[in-house]
Amino acid sequence: MTIAIDFVGTNLGSGTKTYNINFCNELSSIDLTQNIKIFICKNYLKEIEKEINENNQIEYVIKPNFLSITLFRLLWMQFIFPFQLKLMGVKKLYSPMNFSPLITKLLNIKVILCLHSNLPWVYFDLMPGNLVRNFITRKMMELSIKSCDLLIVDSHFAKKEIIEILKIDLKKIEVVYLNINKKYFSLVDDKKLIKNFNYESKYILSVMSCVRYHNIINLLKAYKKLTSNLDFDIKLVLVLQILDKNYFLEIEKFIKSNFLENQIVIFSNLSSDKLPNLYRYAELYVFTSYCEVFGLTSLEAMSQKTPVVISNKSSLPEINGNAAIYFDPDDVSEIANSLKITLIDSSLRQKLIEEGIAQLKKYNSKDNIKKTIRIIENIN
């Protein structure tokens, strides 16, 4: 039997992109009993080819790059893709892209949908993009969830939330945690990866998409408050994927109006191979998000033995456990104080590093991929 996996449109968002890279990495290195067809855009396959192993059970079905554009992708997914699957004899489709074809039941194809976001129901007003597009996104996600045969979510928090919001049958949902890329455990220590960046200077790091629900302005306010009460200099380094250009302009305006240009470094759309060293040399990692169904970046920081200071909202306490200092993301003073305590208390820093190493053991990447494949194989 052949299983299809839909990775078309992978470059739509950084979190989904990271998940798909990690999935391909691990899938290509395990023994498979099924034939796998991965549908993927040409430009994205070229990007990940050097990171994946050859596996005779996996075939990459290359699609044109324009399908990474949302409108074209949705049209292809609903009106062409299901019939391609039928012609290929595919009986099961795994769609880790928040959407899936809606007519697969008519074609006798089972769909396993993986949902990486509850945002459209929880913080609709903070979504990037216009209202019409966001409404269509939410509606398409709802229809995909209700029409799929099984739903996989990234955390128990996400499972509980989606059951409450959409009244989904408990038996229809499985939880599979995400995993970080293997490259974080085989670090090449190269301080020249980012030209003209001084890894030796003290800095706080945050890696995220530039969207309103990541609450970046409050982070900037907290950083300003923090630095006014420290007796040493420390920069703030933001690695942003800019998904909301208007919000990015607000961030730039805040930095300039508060004379923080020399204290805050922004990297936009930085390639992933440069991230491990940034994590490793940071004094701490901070994440101020309101809404996450998992939140992978804090685990990436832990893998480099960097203390984590993080929002207490949504799934983040579940995923990070005792390996982080938590704050209310609406309370600027609390964020600043959490950062200060973690910076100056060496015993606390060491405790967080040790807890982080222990926490990472819960997220065995190969086990999580095997669990996903087992769920797909077992659905009837």
Secondary structure in 3-state letters for 142-165: HHHHHHCCEEEECCHHHHHHHHHH
Residue 317: predicted pLDDT: 97
- Whole-number pLDDT of residue 197: 85
**What is the mean predicted confidence (pLDDT) over 323-333?**
98
User: Whole-prediction pTM value?
Assistant: 0.90
Same domain, 19 and 149: yes
- Does residue 210 share a domain with residue 150? no
How confident is the model at residue 187, as a pLDDT?
62
pLDDT band (50, 70, 90) for residue 185: low
Among the ranges given (118-122, 142-146, 236-240), the one the predictor scored with the smallest mean pLDDT: 118-122
SS3 percent helix, strand, coil of the chain, rounded to 5, is 50, 20, 35
Pair 172, 251 in one domain: no
With b for 16 or more beta-carbon neighbours within 10 A and e for fewer, the 68-79 pattern comes to bebeebbebbbe
Q: What are the pLDDT digits (tens) for 272-306?
A: 778 888 999 999 999 999 999 999 999 999 999 99
- Give the number of other CB atoms < 10 A from CB of residue 34: 14
| Residue pair 235/281 in contact by the 8 Å Cβ criterion | no
Same structural domain, 342 and 244: yes
Mean per-residue pLDDT for 217-221? 98
- Collect all residues with Cβ–Cβ distance below 8 Å to 143 and sequence separation of at least 6: 102
Higher pLDDT, 274 or 236: 236
Same domain for 346 and 216?
Answer: yes
Q: Is the pLDDT of residue 12 over 60?
A: no
- 65 and 170 housed in the same domain: yes
Q: How high is the pLDDT of residue 125?
A: 83
Q: Residue 235 belongs to what domain range?
A: 183-360
Lowest mean pLDDT among 162-171, 213-222, 249-258, 350-359: 162-171
Which pLDDT score is estimated for 14?
Answer: 56
**Residue type at 48 in one-letter notation:** I
In terms of domains, do 13 and 149 share one? yes
For helices 346-360 and 332-344, angle between their N-to-C axes, nearest 10 degrees: 100
- Whether the CB-CB separation of 308 and 284 falls below 8 Å is answered with yes
User: In this structure, what CATH number is given to the domain that contains residue 187?
Assistant: 3.40.50.2000
**Averaged over 142-166, what is the pLDDT?**
94
The secondary structure element, H or E, covering residue 138 is helix 131-147
Mean pLDDT for the stretch of residues 227-241: 93
pLDDT at 182: 66
Is the Cβ–Cβ distance between 4 and 85 less than 8 Å? yes
Whether residue 184 is predicted with pLDDT greater than 70 in this model: the reply is no
Regarding whether 74 and 206 lie in a shared domain, the answer is no
Kindly state whether residues 47 and 190 are assigned to the same domain. no
* Residues 197 and 328 grouped into a single domain: yes
Structure tokens at 220: 């900037």
Tell me the pLDDT of the chain averaged across its residues: 89
Query: Would you state the torsion angle of the CA atoms of residues 64, 68, 71, 73, taken in this order, to the nearest 10 degrees?
Result: 60
- The residue whose two tokens read 């250009």 is 245
pLDDT at residue 131, rounded to an integer? 87
Q: Are residues 80 and 209 in the same domain?
A: no
pLDDT at residue 375 in the model: 92
96 or 51, which is more confident: 96
pLDDT in tens, 125-151: 888 878 888 888 899 999 999 999 999
Question: What's the confidence (pLDDT) of residue 46?
Answer: 76
CA separation for the pair 119, 126 (Å, rounded): 8
Q: Which two tokens stand for residue 290?
A: 């309101």
* Number of folded domains that form the chain: 2
For residues 328 and 65, the model is more confident at 328
Q: Are residues 64 and 83 in the same domain?
A: yes
Contact 127, 165 (CB under 8 A): no
